[in-house]
Amino acid sequence: MSNENLFSLPTPLHSLIDFRQDKASCRPDAARIFAHLTADEYTQGHVASWRIFLLNMAMESFPQRPSSQPLVQLHDVKVHFSVRKGLFGSESVHAVDGVTLDIGAGEVVAVVGESGSGKTTLGRAALGLIRVTEGHVSFDNTAISALSQKEQKAFRRRAAAIFQDPFASIDPYMTAYESVAEPLVIHGIGSDSERRERVFQALHDVRLRPAQEIAGKYPDLLSGGQRQRLSIARALVLQPQFIVADEPVSMVDASSRAELLALLRELQKRFNIAFLYITHDIATARHFAQRIVVMYLGCVVEMGEAADVVRNPMHPYTQALIAAVPEPDPANRLHQRPSLPGEPPSPVDAPSGCSFHPRCASFMAGRCELTTPRLREVEPNHFVACFLHEGIDAYQN
């Protein structure tokens, strides 16, 4: 089975959709057939969670990546935390260790990796929520560390976050209306009636219906999916140009995930918002993002157009992430997927040389544990840090 198929639908459904490199089409009768395809419970669940998302994806294609000046630029960003060790000692956690990444206006970039690889820290650095140890982050050509207080406030209007946990990110003592209105109040935007209009528009945009009824509810009366829609409305109400969405669907129930991702994609397109989409799930990254950045222990190990990375993963870590994607075809559902060998090592004491070497099936003794492979462009716009794809300039000390 090709990598692309792992990211698609059970076999009977797959034939309805024709994925191509930069364009996918969908037979017009697909939606009707999907509605009736309920072969068994597994298929039903699978289709329920994927059909809206994939149908949406299948009927459109992303525009080419904008070539203009990037909106967000991270240059050799390092974030090291100092943590206590024993009574008097301390040690340094290299959460992000030299990441360079540009995100264009309206572009969607997914950051993928296991837990602890530095994704959240990178997202927080991109929003200026965390001080970088080295390197710099700029937004619209201005270093965010150099912003005055007034400029920082303006930046907060233009860059927003959607966090993983909809239960923690919404104030339980505010009604849905108050939660969405709060950013407008903080930024002194609009009169009471203008705010009201914008809040209801945001509730409408995220399809929290009926908006009048939802507006008066406290979060404990909303489902996980509804709360996450509320977080999205809160982020949207300021009309940002850039959103960091950190595992936005991982804590909502499986049946809401596909709809939420499809909603985010729709809003991203409609308002031309640049997204840094953080996920441990390379399957959703493939469909949600134009580019995929794979992180391991704070470093980028592979980066490229989403279709290229999935179709032709070059780094053994990316290959292992893809191999571990659950089998979509119910006929093969008992087929055991290989899991990634071992645990990710601690960023306090990263392995020497290539930090993936203790888990790598292609490990080359005498090389991989001694020298760090550099991220290099192996094919156009496809970057990999691995000696299997080395060139004459592949080594750094």
Ligand X SMILES: Nc1ncnc2c1ncn2[C@@H]1O[C@H](COP(=O)(O)OP(=O)(O)O)[C@@H](O)[C@H]1O
Residues forming the site for ligand X (CB under 6 A): 81, 83, 93, 95, 113, 115-121, 347
Which is nearer to ligand X, 95 or 160 (by Cβ)? 95
**What is the H or E stretch that residue 179 is in?**
helix 176-186
Distances 252 to 54, 203, 232, 263 between C-alpha atoms, Å: 18, 18, 13, 14
Residues 6+ apart with CB under 8 A from 193: none
Q: Does 309 bind ligand SF4 (CB under 6 A)?
A: no
Q: What is the DSSP letter of 222?
A: S
Q: What is the DSSP letter of 361?
A: T
Sheet holding 134-139, edge to edge: 89-103, 72-85, 134-139, 142-143
Which is nearer to ligand SF4, 47 or 292 (by Cβ)? 292
* Minimum CB–partner distance for residue 239 and ligand X (Å): 27
Q: Does 169 bind Mg ion (CB under 5 A)?
A: no
Residues 6+ apart with CB under 8 A from 297: 94, 97, 116, 117, 118, 344, 345, 347, 350, 355, 356
Considering only 44, 90, 255, 362, the residue that binds ligand SF4 (CB under 6 A) is 362
* Minimum CB–partner distance for residue 121 and Mg ion (Å): 8
**Token digits for 174?**
């505010």
Considering only 356, 375, 378, 394, the residue that binds ligand SF4 (CB under 6 A) is 356
Report the partner that residue 388 touches, choosing among Mg ion, ligand X, ligand SF4, none (CB closer than 5 to 8 A by kind): ligand SF4
**Alpha-carbon dihedral angle through residues 322, 328, 329, 335, given to the nearest 10 degrees:** 60
Report the partner that residue 364 touches, choosing among Mg ion, ligand X, ligand SF4, none (CB closer than 5 to 8 A by kind): ligand SF4
Site for ligand SF4 in 315-354 (CB under 6 A): 315-316, 354
Considering only 368, 375, 378, 394, the residue that binds ligand SF4 (CB under 6 A) is 368
Q: Does 120 bind Mg ion (CB under 5 A)?
A: yes
Query: Residue 312: helix, strand or coil by DSSP?
Result: coil
Binding string, residues 372-391; x marks residues near ligand SF4 by CB under 6 A: -x------------xxx---
- β-partners of residue 230 are none
φ and ψ of 279, to 5 deg = -155, 155
Which is nearer to ligand SF4, 34 or 296 (by Cβ)? 296
What is the total residue count of the chain? 397
Name the residues that contact Mg ion, by CB under 5 A: 120
Name the residues that contact ligand SF4, by CB under 6 A: 315-316, 354, 356-357, 360, 362-364, 368, 373, 386-388
